[in-house]
């Protein structure tokens, strides 16, 4: 490290970001308390309860974050590969000795605490990607670079898929955003977005059964395929008539390939849904897309009074309604109104209607008790943090720091996107935490380290060229 | 490659997503209220607070109806944990099969998670033993309810009863839930709104597994307003004595204070202890009483429609005097050719005709009223015109009406008129000769004992009545309903009443049809009746009266089915009651009459 002078380690640290971090963590803790408080254990630092444990995690995270700030940024550059390797080892270890919770073998039990390596693996991947890109001055217009980047992301992703923890896996998509900044073709994003839209269309049409002439009742996806095929034919016709001959050949090829790809894609999406996904995952997707039974249909089940009906609804739902979590979260959010029900006053929260409300569904608690105002404030803080991190990444002279900064911002963004999207009913139920706010030691410590490593790197931005 | 723009692209993506979220949140939280309604339906529980039902006292302040706390043993099948079945069954005195059957029923109805009623109405004494053990049985709990009790055990049909709301009552009224109780008859039904009070609401919260929790909410609880206590018009001692006198008889007594229309006693015999229709025994006893051939649940005083018999001659006299068909001096031969008579008399004036209850006299009286030569060309048309006038007068006495009284289910009886006979015989197919049995209270004329007593009141008041009613004060020190502060004047000259009253006085004097029943020292004015019965059965004994002659305090109608002469079997009942009411005791000279009545048994006739 080439230092331009001996400065205090905490000089040049971006304190505004630290402040935002602190607000989110403390506000998260307050809401965890509201969501999980047990009348017999009113002390927020009661170690037998989630809020007490979270307090401990906050202390540990603060300590580790401070330690990172006192470290040399150079360390993370030099040891990136080892850190990456260490986390890969942990991911292997969890497959060997891990404990299974909610169907995923994702936890390593150490004493009274459980460690979730997937939450830390993102740090390793971020550092490793930054290291690779900055060292090789890689350009993303060649296949070799793309392949190596894919491998760096792919190894831990594959290990997480084996657990299987689809939620954590999805957050690895974040790295694509970081790579896009470093030159990965924008087509990847567009194709990705197009694939999502077309995939949703395929699922919706595949969900509906259609009675075809001659073929009888079949999946509606064949109609979609036919439409794609017709559009392909129309394009061929257009190319023949309106494009100069020397360009035709290439366009023909693109049209044929994309038509075939689209048909193949929609077919395989439905194949995945039908044959590969577990029943509950399939249902979750259907529920999110509004295809599975809705609450209105359910409440029609008769009881003698409105409230008894509601009670029936809850009890019935819990056992056999796949949309229960999603619906309860939405009701809790909607119940918040503009100003919220007040701290520790949310009836849906207080009466335990939303499952996982202090972990993955913490945003529903915030929404119910703090209302539209509180929800927007939290989203606003996250957007502020992400945009600030992006701008901080841009001010780095070192490419290593910049790539890493983008990784950090992208990871926060993806968590926000999936977690909040899930709570407000825009995304399927995917169990990932809301950074800094959800209960959980691994995630809080993981996100803290992720952020503070970048804050350390940023603090040294003026003194390093890498 | 210039990558500077990509920062902006990424920031834009972040912002677009954030904006989408904010819009979505705005719709969920601010625009659309259905989510909030769902949350309320899910989390809020409105627990009804039942007020105590109003207490009913008699006119002397004796408690007639009050409340008693009992316990219902409830169970939520879903919450039940393995328990010692034998000891629970022993404790509750039920069979294990009762529990399994209830659970099966709950499951079939999809109510496995909801409270089910296992044992109903456990008395406080029994509950004391149960409550000590109940904690051992998870999922079982007790709920307190109140029941009616009748400390005096009198006036079952007068006071009425309370029972589970029926589907039709539930539909007709949006105040109740399906599990509530409602007044079914008598005062309990007529004054249901006053007695029930107003339910309160306690707002509580329900958690995700259905537990009810008492939490601070933003809705304020509404306290229950207790039911209003009532002072009824009954004199419990009189009622009790009346029920005693009517033992082993079928029939009824109605006693009214003429000035106020307050019903002092209303006995329908055979009677029963109102406490039989309360609590766990209600269902069983209700069946027994319903199937009893003597029909104890049938309120003869207001629902039985009898032919009035000779007492009707009083109304006939007043009508005839009013229309000018006769004068008090009019004498008529006791011509027993068309219609029978009894006793030795041959040419009575009105007063003596009433005393002797002369049938030919009153046949002729009505003849004069109905065939008054209003249409000289046709006696058929003449009779039509006359009967219309007659009917109008008779209706003034309250016959054919419910008397605007407050007793649920009263019958109106029948005052046959032109329409009735046109339908019966055909237009202009009938004349007085066809319908003359009306003249002595037989034929198609039907009245209820309440109406008979009301007629006694009218005569006692010399021309007016207040609708008979059962509640004197709504709320202690309160007023009756406005309807019962109104006097209905018949528009008949007081002088005519004097004639009739004098005659009635003589009925209880030597030579009158009820002279044996006359008590010492009290001037009772009365009229006997003996109503013929088809099928060779014994006649019904009828008597109406009031006393004292001046400033009457009580009017009574007694109808004893299949007993015989009215003067022999009903008049003593009435006069004993008068003695009891006016003197508070039965004189030595009346004791033989009392014994005669108490010993009489007409149930098997």
Are the Cβ atoms of A372 and B29 closer than 8 angstroms? yes
C-alpha–C-alpha distance, residues B319 and B355, integer Å: 18
Q: Do residues B323 and B374 lie in contact, with contact meaning Cβ atoms separated by under 8 Å?
A: no
Q: What is the pLDDT of residue A306?
A: 42
Q: Strand pairing partners for A219?
A: A209
Best A137, A142, A351, A402 member to test B by mutation, with max B CBs in 10 Å, is A351
Q: Which residues of chain B have pLDDT under 50?
A: none
A322 pLDDT band (50/70/90 cuts)? Answer: low
Closest CA to B343 of B332, B329, B354, B331: B354
Closest CA to B146 of B334, B279, B281, B283: B279
Largest CA distance in chain B: 142
Write down the domain spans for chain A: 15-184+343-459, 193-276
- Provide the token pair at B409: 């289910």
The pLDDT of residue A312 is above 70: no
Closest CA to B205 of A161, A349, A76: A349
Q: Do residues A235 and A255 lie in contact, with contact meaning Cβ atoms separated by under 8 Å?
A: yes
Q: Which residues in B lie closer than 8 A to residue A410 (C-beta atoms)? A: 10
Q: Do residues B187 and A331 lie in contact, with contact meaning Cβ atoms separated by under 8 Å?
A: no
Q: Do residues B471 and B481 lie in contact, with contact meaning Cβ atoms separated by under 8 Å?
A: yes
C-alpha–C-alpha distance, residues A441 and A113, integer Å: 8
A321 pLDDT band (50/70/90 cuts)? Answer: low
Q: Which residues in A lie closer than 8 A to residue B20 (C-beta atoms)? A: 426
Q: What is the pLDDT of residue B122?
A: 86
Are the Cβ atoms of B22 and A318 closer than 8 angstroms? no
Q: Using one digit for the tens of pLDDT, what is the confidence trace for B340-393?
A: 888 888 899 999 999 999 999 999 999 999 988 888 888 888 999 999 999 999
Are the Cβ atoms of B21 and A372 closer than 8 angstroms? no
Q: Do residues B556 and B544 lie in contact, with contact meaning Cβ atoms separated by under 8 Å?
A: yes
C-alpha–C-alpha distance, residues A342 and A283, integer Å: 34
Are the Cβ atoms of B208 and A318 closer than 8 angstroms? yes
A140/A448: higher pLDDT: A448
Q: Is A436 left (phi over 0), alpha (psi -120 to 50) or beta?
A: left
A319 pLDDT band (50/70/90 cuts)? Answer: very low
Q: Which residues in B lie closer than 8 A to residue A351 (C-beta atoms)? A: 43, 205-208, 213
Q: What is the pLDDT of residue A301?
A: 35
Strand B332-333, strand B347-348: pairing: antiparallel
Which among B20, B30, B113 is the nearest to A372, CB-wise?
B30
Are the Cβ atoms of A333 and B17 closer than 8 angstroms? no
B408/A464: higher pLDDT: B408
Whole-angstrom CA distances from B181 to A286, B60, B115, B163, B330 are 48, 28, 18, 5, 60
Cβ neighbour number for residue B136 with a 10 Å cutoff: 12
A231 Cβ contact list (under 8 Å, min separation 6): A259
What's B258's DSSP letter?
A: T
Angle in degrees, 0-180, between the axes of helices B591-599 and B571-583, rounded to the nearest 10: 130
C-alpha–C-alpha distance, residues B272 and A246, integer Å: 112
Matching residue, tokens 């008790």: A369
Q: How close, in Å, is residue B2 to chain A by CA atoms?
A: 9
Residue ranges of alpha helices (H) inside B397-521 are 418-425, 432-435, 449-460, 494-507
- Listed by number, the residues of chain A in 327-366 with a beta carbon closer than 8 Å to a beta carbon of chain B are 330-338, 347-348, 350-353
Q: What is the pLDDT of residue A304?
A: 37
Are the Cβ atoms of A334 and B38 closer than 8 angstroms? yes
Q: Which residues in A lie closer than 8 A to residue B40 (C-beta atoms)? A: 335, 347
The pLDDT of residue A189 is above 90: no
C-alpha–C-alpha distance, residues B579 and B587, integer Å: 8
Best A181, A190, A334 member to test B by mutation, with max B CBs in 10 Å, is A334
Best B6, B22, B25 member to test A by mutation, with max A CBs in 10 Å, is B25
Instruction: Measure CA of the first residue to CA of the last residue in chain B; give whole Å.
Output: 120
Q: How close, in Å, is residue B404 to chain A by CA atoms?
A: 38
Which among B21, B46, B113 is the nearest to A315, CB-wise?
B113
- Listed by number, the residues of chain A in 137-196 with a beta carbon closer than 8 Å to a beta carbon of chain B are 139, 141, 177, 180-183, 186
Task: Write down the mean pLDDT value for chain A.
Answer: 85
Strand B262-269, strand B251-257: pairing: antiparallel
Query: Torsion angle, CA of A457/A463/A464/B2, rounded to 10 degrees?
Result: 90
Q: Which residues in A lie closer than 8 A to residue B107 (C-beta atoms)? A: none
C-alpha–C-alpha distance, residues A326 and A384, integer Å: 27
Q: Which residues in A lie closer than 8 A to residue B35 (C-beta atoms)? A: 330-331, 333-335
Q: Using one digit for the tens of pLDDT, what is the confidence trace for A398-423?
A: 999 999 999 999 999 999 999 999 99
Q: Is B180 on the interface with A (CB under 8 A)?
A: no
The pLDDT of residue A302 is above 50: no
The pLDDT of residue A127 is above 80: yes
Q: Is B117 on the interface with A (CB under 8 A)?
A: no
A138 pLDDT band (50/70/90 cuts)? Answer: low
Q: Is B39 on the interface with A (CB under 8 A)?
A: yes
- Provide the token pair at B484: 């019962």
Best A177, A180, A295, A335 member to test B by mutation, with max B CBs in 10 Å, is A335
| Residue B266, H or E segment | strand B262-269
Q: How close, in Å, is residue A89 to chain B by CA atoms?
A: 32
Q: Is A101 on the interface with B (CB under 8 A)?
A: no
Backbone angles phi, psi at A2, to 5 degrees: -100, 105
Ordered structural domains, chain B, with CATH: 43-62+152-232 (3.90.1310.10), 69-145 (3.30.1390), 236-273+299-599 (3.40.710.10)
The pLDDT of residue A295 is above 60: no
C-alpha–C-alpha distance, residues B571 and B573, integer Å: 5
Q: Do residues A33 and A45 lie in contact, with contact meaning Cβ atoms separated by under 8 Å?
A: no
Find the mean pLDDT for residues A57-66. 96
Whole-angstrom CA distances from B530 to B31, B277, B525, B600 are 80, 35, 17, 17
A200/B396: higher pLDDT: B396
Q: Is A372 on the interface with B (CB under 8 A)?
A: yes
- Provide the token pair at A62: 């603060």
The chain B residue lying nearest A301, using CA atoms, is: B110
Q: How far is CA A156 from the centre of its chain?
A: 16
C-alpha–C-alpha distance, residues B107 and B127, integer Å: 28
Q: What is the pLDDT of residue A3?
A: 47
A6 Cβ contact list (under 8 Å, min separation 6): none
Are the Cβ atoms of A390 and B213 closer than 8 angstroms? no
Q: Using one digit for the tens of pLDDT, what is the confidence trace for A3-42?
A: 455 578 888 899 999 999 999 999 999 999 999 998 888 9
Q: Do residues B288 and B335 lie in contact, with contact meaning Cβ atoms separated by under 8 Å?
A: no
- Provide the token pair at B480: 């009756």
C-alpha–C-alpha distance, residues B237 and A31, integer Å: 71
The DSSP secondary structure of B344-362, one letter per residue, reads S-SEE-HHHHHHHT-HHHH
């Amino acid at each position: 490290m080439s230092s331009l002078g001996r400065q205090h380690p905490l000089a040049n640290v971006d304190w505004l970001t630290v402040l935002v971090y602190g607000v989110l963590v403390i506000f998260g803790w307050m809401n965890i308390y509201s969501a999980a408080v047990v009348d017999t254990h009113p002390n927020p630092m009661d170690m037998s309860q989630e809020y007490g444990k979270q307090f401990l995690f906050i202390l540990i995270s603060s300590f580790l974050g401070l330690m990172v700030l006192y470290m040399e940024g150079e360390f993370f550059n030099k040891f990136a590969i080892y850190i990456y390797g260490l986390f890969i080892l942990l991911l292997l270890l969890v497959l060997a000795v891990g404990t299974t919770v909610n169907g995923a073998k994702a936890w390593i039990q150490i004493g009274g605490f459980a460690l979730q390596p997937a939450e830390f693996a993102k740090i390793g991947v971020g550092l490793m990607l930054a290291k690779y890109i900055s060292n090789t001055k890689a350009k993303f217009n060649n296949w070799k670079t793309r392949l190596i980047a894919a491998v760096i992301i792919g190894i831990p992703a594959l290990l997480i898929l084996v657990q299987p923890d689809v939620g954590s896996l999805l957050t690895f998509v974040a790295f694509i955003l970081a790579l896009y900044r470093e030159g990965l073709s924008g087509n990847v994003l567009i194709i990705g977005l197009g694939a999502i839209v077309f995939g949703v269309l395929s699922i919706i049409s595949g969900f509906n059964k259609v009675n075809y002439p001659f073929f009888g009742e079949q999946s509606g996806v064949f109609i979609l395929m036919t439409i794609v095929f017709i559009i392909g034919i129309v394009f061929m016709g257009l190319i023949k008539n309106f494009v100069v001959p020397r360009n035709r050949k290439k366009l023909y090829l693109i049209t044929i390939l994309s038509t075939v790809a689209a048909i193949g894609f929609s077919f395989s999406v439905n194949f995945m849904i039908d044959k590969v996904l577990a029943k509950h995952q399939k249902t979750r997707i259907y529920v999110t897309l509004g295809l599975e039974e809705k609450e209105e249909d359910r409440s029609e089940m008769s009881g003698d009074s409105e409230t008894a009906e509601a009670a029936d609804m809850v009890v019935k739902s819990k056992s056999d309604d796949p949309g229960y979590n999603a619906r309860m979260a939405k009701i809790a959010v909607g119940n918040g109104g503009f100003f919220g029900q007040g701290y520790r006053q949310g009836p849906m929260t207080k009466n335990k209607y939303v499952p996982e409300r202090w972990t993955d569904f913490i945003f529903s608690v915030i929404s119910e008790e703090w209302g539209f105002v509180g929800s927007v404030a939290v989203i606003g803080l996250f957007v502020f943090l992400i945009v600030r991190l992006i701008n901080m990444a841009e001010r780095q002279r070192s490419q290593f720091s910049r790539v890493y900064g983008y990784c950090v911002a992208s990871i926060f963004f993806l968590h926000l996107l999936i977690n909040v999207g899930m709570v407000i009913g825009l995304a399927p139920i995917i169990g990932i935490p809301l950074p800094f706010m959800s209960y959980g030691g691994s995630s809080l410590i993981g996100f803290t380290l992720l952020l503070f490593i970048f804050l350390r790197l940023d603090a040294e931005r003026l003194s390093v060229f890498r | 490659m210039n990558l500077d723009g990509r920062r902006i692209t990424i920031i834009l993506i972040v912002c677009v997503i954030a904006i989408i979220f904010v819009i979505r949140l705005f719709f969920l939280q601010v625009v659309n209220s259905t989510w909030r309604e769902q949350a309320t339906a899910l989390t809020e529980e409105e627990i009804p607070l039942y007020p105590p039902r109003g207490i009913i006292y008699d006119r002397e302040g004796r408690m007639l109806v009050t409340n008693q706390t009992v316990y219902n043993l409830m169970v939520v099948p879903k919450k039940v944990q393995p328990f010692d079945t034998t000891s629970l069954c022993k404790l509750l005195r039920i069979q294990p099969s009762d529990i399994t059957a209830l659970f099966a029923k709950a499951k079939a109805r999809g109510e496995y998670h909801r409270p089910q009623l296992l044992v109903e109405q456990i008395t406080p004494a029994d509950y004391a033993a149960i409550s000590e053990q109940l904690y051992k049985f998870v999922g079982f709990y007790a709920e307190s309810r109140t029941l009616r009790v009748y400390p005096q055990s009198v006036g079952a049909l007068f006071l009425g009863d309370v029972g589970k709301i029926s589907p039709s009552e539930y539909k007709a009224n949006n105040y109740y839930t399906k599990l509530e109780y409602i007044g079914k008859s008598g005062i309990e039904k007529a004054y249901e709104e006053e007695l029930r009070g107003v339910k309160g609401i306690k707002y509580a919260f329900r958690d995700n597994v259905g537990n009810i929790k008492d939490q601070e909410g933003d809705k304020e609880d509404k306290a229950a307003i207790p039911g209003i206590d009532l002072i009824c018009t009954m004199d419990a001692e009189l009622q009790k004595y009346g029920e005693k006198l009517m033992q082993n008889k079928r029939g009824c007594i109605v006693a009214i204070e003429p000035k106020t229309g307050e019903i002092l006693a209303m006995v329908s015999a055979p009677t029963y202890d109102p406490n039989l229709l309360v609590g766990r025994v209600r269902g069983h006893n209700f069946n027994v009483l319903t199937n009893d051939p003597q029909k104890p649940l049938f309120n003869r005083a207001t629902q039985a429609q009898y032919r009035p018999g000779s007492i009707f001659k009083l109304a006939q006299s007043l009508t005839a005097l009013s229309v000018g068909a006769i004068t008090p001096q009019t004498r008529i031969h006791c011509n027993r050719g068309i219609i029978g008579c009894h006793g030795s008399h041959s040419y009575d004036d009105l007063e003596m005709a009433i005393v002797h209850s002369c049938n030919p006299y009153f046949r002729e009286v009505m003849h004069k009223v109905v065939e008054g030569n209003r249409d000289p060309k046709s006696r058929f048309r003449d009779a039509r015109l006359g009967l219309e006038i007659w009917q109008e007068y008779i209706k003034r006495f309250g016959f054919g009406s419910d008397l605007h009284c407050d007793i649920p289910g009263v019958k109106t009886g029948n005052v046959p008129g032109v329409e009735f006979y046109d339908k019966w015989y055909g237009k202009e197919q009938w004349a007085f000769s066809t319908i003359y049995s009306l003249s002595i209270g037989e034929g198609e004329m039907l009245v209820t004992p309440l109406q008979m007593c009301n007629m006694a009141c009218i005569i006692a008041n010399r021309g007016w009545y207040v609708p008979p009613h059962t509640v004197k004060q709504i709320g202690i020190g309160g007023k009756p309903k406005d309807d019962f502060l109104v006097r209905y004047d018949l528009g008949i000259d007081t002088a005519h009443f004097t004639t009739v009253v004098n005659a009635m006085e003589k009925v209880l004097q030597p030579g009158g049809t009820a002279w044996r029943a006359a008590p010492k020292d009290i001037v009772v004015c009365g009229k006997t009746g003996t109503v013929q019965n088809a099928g060779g059965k014994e006649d019904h004994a009828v008597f109406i009266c009031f006393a004292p002659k001046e400033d009457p305090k009580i009017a009574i109608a007694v109808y004893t089915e299949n007993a015989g002469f009215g003067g022999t079997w009903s008049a003593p009942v009435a006069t004993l009651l008068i003695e009891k009411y006016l003197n508070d005791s039965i004189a030595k000279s009346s004791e033989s009459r009392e014994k005669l009545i108490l010993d009489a048994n007409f149930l098997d006739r």
